[in-house]
């Protein structure tokens, strides 16, 4: 198994699981703990080397390509944000809007910066070649996870179909994280399917992007968490990604207080089931301001809970090269 100590060299050595580090410079975001970003998108303005596959962009191909050409999310750009935010390291999440399932750029930047960037790739869960691709990427590229995403087709999500079982079995075999983003359709139905797969694959750690899209406007009495969101509390192999996107699209638009929302979520799932992600490269809001808002919304919580949300759980969960022990968080 990949030795995680190689990730924590130099100035990171004393910080990974120990005391809060001294900063190389004063950070913009004020937090009394290190931060791990589980949702950074990387893309470049070098289409000759890394051709765009932007046909699935939520903004349209033209907008996506123009954005990438004008403001590429290279390691230098992301690291500038990370350094200002006090973020030690994080996972690069393949950007479907720019490259679809061609993970070349993400894998290349992760190989160049193994101390800071771990890879969560996107592959087609229905492709018969995906299980072997996952084995190869886990062995050779030291990926930490695979992301399955999409809207329902014919009443269900393709990554929950029987045809996707070999991909799930490979993830279970390899010990890599499965990051899920079922969007569109009924959230209660989607969380019910997550419940089924968390039961079927107990050795897979599942991470729900944007906490599975709880919508406080639809379920105000439970801050948007549906009955099946609640049922997921029984699964300690399910984790919840708190993101800038969630704050913008669900929390801000509903008018609920973020600290109240987080109190409810932590009370529902427990303090060790959360990770945080910036969504940098996708979000077009002020990432630093939203991170500060997320940090401030937990100010009344115990230090250990806050540190778990923003660093410790993600650090333990995302293991390069797989083999992460289940329920060790």
Structural tokens at position 151: 């809207």
Contact criterion met (CB below 8 Å) for 205 and 324? yes
pLDDT profile of the chain (329 residues), mean per 10:
38 37 66 97 97 80 90 97 96 95 98 97 98 98 97 94 97 97 93 97 97 95 97 97 95 96 98 97 90 98 98 96 63
Q: Match 């979000």 to its residue by tokens.
A: 283
Strand ranges (E), 193-281: 206-208, 238-243, 274-277
- Spatial CA neighbour of 144 closest among 114, 109, 175: 175
Output the six-digit token pair for 145.
């996870």
pLDDT tens per residue across span 10-19:
334 333 443 3
Q: What is the pTM of this model?
A: 0.91
Query: What count of other Cβ atoms lies within 10 Å of the Cβ of residue 30?
Result: 10
The CA distance from 43 to 215, in Å, is: 30
For the domain made up of 36-317, the CATH class stated in words is alpha beta
pLDDT of residue 184: 87
CB 107 within 8 A of CB 307: no
pLDDT value, residue 324: 59
CA–CA separation, 167 and 101 (whole Å): 14
Q: What does the pLDDT look like over 171-206, one tens digit per residue?
A: 999 999 999 999 988 999 999 999 999 999 999 999
Q: What is the pLDDT of residue 61?
A: 83
Residues in the chain: 329
- CB 302 within 8 Å of CB 234: no
Every domain of the chain and the residues it spans = 36-317
DSSP structure class, residue 23: P
């Amino acid at each position: 198994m990949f030795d995680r100590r190689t990730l924590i060299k130099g100035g990171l050595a004393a910080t990974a699981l120990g005391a809060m580090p001294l900063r190389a410079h004063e950070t913009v975001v004020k937090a009394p703990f290190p931060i791990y970003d589980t949702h950074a998108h990387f893309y470049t303005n070098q289409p000759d080397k890394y051709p765009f596959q932007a046909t699935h962009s939520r903004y349209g191909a033209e907008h996506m390509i123009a954005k990438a050409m004008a403001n590429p999310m290279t390691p230098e750009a992301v690291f500038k944000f990370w350094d200002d935010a006090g973020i030690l390291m994080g996972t690069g999440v393949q950007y479907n809007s720019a490259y679809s399932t061609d993970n070349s750029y993400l894998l290349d930047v992760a190989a160049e910066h193994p101390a800071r960037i771990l890879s969560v790739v996107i592959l087609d869960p229905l492709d018969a070649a995906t299980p072997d691709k996952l084995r190869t990427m886990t062995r050779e590229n030291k990926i930490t996870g695979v992301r399955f995403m999409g809207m329902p087709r014919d009443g269900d999500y393709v990554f929950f179909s029987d045809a996707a079982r070999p991909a799930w079995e490979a993830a279970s075999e390899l010990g890599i994280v499965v990051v899920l983003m079922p969007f569109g359709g009924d959230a209660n139905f989607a969380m019910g399917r997550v419940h089924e797969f968390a039961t079927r694959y107990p050795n897979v750690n599942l991470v729900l992007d944007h906490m599975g899209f709880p919508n406080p406007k639809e379920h105000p009495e439970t801050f948007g968490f549906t009955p099946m969101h609640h049922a997921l509390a029984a699964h300690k192999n399910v984790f919840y990604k708190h993101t800038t996107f969630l704050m913008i699209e669900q929390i801000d638009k509903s008018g609920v207080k973020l600290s109240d929302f987080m109190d409810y979520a932590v009370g529902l799932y427990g303090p060790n089931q959360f990770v945080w992600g910036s969504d940098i490269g996708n979000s077009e809001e002020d990432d630093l301001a939203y991170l500060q808002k997320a940090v401030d919304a937990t100010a009344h919580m115990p230090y250990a809970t806050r540190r778990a949300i923003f660093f410790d759980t993600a650090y333990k969960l995302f293991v390069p090269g797989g083999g992460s022990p289940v329920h060790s968080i």
